[in-house]
Every structure is written in C-alpha cells, then in structure tokens.
Amino acid sequence: MDSFVDNITIPFHFVSNVPSDLLGWLSNITVKRTDLESENTRLIQENLIYKGKLQRMGELKTENIRLRLLLNAAELLMDEVLVTEVIGVSVTPKIHTLVINRGLNDDVYVGQPVLDSDGLMGQVTRVHENFSSVLLITDSTHAIPVQVLRTGMRSTAEGISDFKKMRLRFISPTADVKVGDQLVSSGLGGRFPSGYPVGIVTAIDQKLGANFVNVEVTPTAHVNESKHLLLIFDATKKRS
C-alpha cells in the first residue's frame, strides 16, 4: 500500500519541482549569457588595444627606417652634423616654419642649413637656449641658389608656400632645363653648402611671347613630414 502511494506521489513531486528547476536553468542561461556578453565586450576592447599597439609598432618601424636613412645620409656628408627633432610647426598654412629641439647649448647658429635624409629642408632663423626656429625652403619668403645637376645651369629656387611645389626664377625660354632634372644647392651666397639635393623639375610651362618660362619644382626633402633632421656645421668653423 505504501509503495502504491509512493508511486502515485512521485509524479506530483516531480511536477511540483519543475518551476524551481526551470527557474534555475533559466538563471544559469542568463548568467552564462551575461558572462558571454562581458567576455565579448572585453575581447572587443582588447582587440582595439592590440590594433592600436600594432599601429604604434608600424609607426615605430617607419620611424626606425627614417632614422636609418638619416644616419646613412650623415655618413655621406663631409661637414659635421647634429641630429635634431621637430617639436613644433607653424599653425598658419602660408607660413612654413618649424621648431627643433636644439639651440645655443648645441652651438646652433642663425643661417645654419637643415636637411632630412633626402635633401635640404631650410635654414635656422632664430636660436634660443634649448630650441630653434627653422624657415623651410617652401616658404614664400625663402629662396635658395641652385644649379641643374645635368648641365650646371644656375638659377634660384623659391618657395610659394606649398609643401609640394617650388619654382625657378627667371628661366629663359632657351635655357637647357628638362622635366626630371635634379636641382642641387650651388653654394653661391655662402649660406648653403654646395651639392645638396633641393628638388626635381616636374613641369615646364612656356607661354607664347613670355620673357621667361615657369618651371615647377618638387622638393626632394619631405618638408612637411620628416620628424628627425640634420643640422649642418660648416667644416671650416669649429664648434665650441
């Protein structure tokens, strides 16, 4: 008789336990889903951080390559040089100047030539104790004596406040200058040493009846991109 009663009541106990078991099961699912969402959020954040670090690694790799090129360029120079870093740039688009982290304490002087791994960048215009200002060759107030490497023809390359363009001044229609000609500093005037790359002739516009032709030049240096530069010290002048 007892076993008969037990057999009858077992299904009722099972049914009565269903709601609590169901709630427990649903609770476990909810907890697991919350955990999964938290884990997913964490993984997304970590992925973002890793991607950010990878971008930084790419930047460091590129910067390392640039520094190597800069040091290789320094080895080819006859003059004494000093590596410097850009710490500021002009906020005015038409004014092409920057600030470097070398100054009087490093024997920097006004008029000192500055270059990157590919060519002349400009010259020092103001010197302070620990930093200096540099006027870039692309500034509209800057002009530099140059010569065509192929022929030796002399001219003056002037800035037009465009980081990608300069122009040659007073070029005769009969002058032997071609697209692709490389321009280097001529050394005239004594401000810049001779033989440093300045730019490449990229366009020649000759208007009918004009006394001069318009010659467009692309600077060899990465004027608005280079971070590490070289200060050139005149070999004839001894640093203190």
Pairing of strands 228-233, 113-115: antiparallel
Q: What pLDDT score was predicted for residue 102? A: 95
Least confident of 36-40, 192-196, 204-208, 221-225: 36-40
In the prediction, which pLDDT does 4 show? 45
**Cβ count near 52 (within 10 Å):** 10
108 pLDDT more than 90: yes
Report percent pLDDT > 70 for the chain. Answer: 69
pLDDT band at 29 (very low <50, low <70, confident <90, very high): low
Band (49; pLDDT cuts 50, 70, 90): low
pLDDT surpasses 60 at 140? yes
As a whole number of angstroms, the distance between CA 232 and CA 53 comes to 35
Contact yes or no for 196/120 (Cβ under 8 A): yes
Q: Chain centroid to CA 5: how far?
A: 88
Cα dist from 35 to 41, 43, 47, 48, whole Å: 10, 12, 18, 20
The answer to whether residue 14 scores a pLDDT higher than 50 is: no
Alpha helices, DSSP H, located in the chain: 2-76
Predicted pLDDT at 192: 86
DSSP notation for 159-214: EEEETTEEEEEEE-TTS---TT-EEEE--TTSSS-TT-EEEEEEEEE--TT-SSEE
Would you give the DSSP letter of residue 106?
G
Percent of the chain topping pLDDT 90: 44
Per-residue pLDDT, 40: 78
pLDDT at 6 over 60: no
202-207-213-219 Cα dihedral, nearest 10 degrees? -20
Looking only at the bridges linking them, the beta strands covering 97-100 and 132-136 are: antiparallel
Please enumerate in sequence order all residues whose Cβ is within 8 A of that of 108, keeping only pairs 6 or more positions apart, or say none.
82, 102, 124, 127, 132, 231
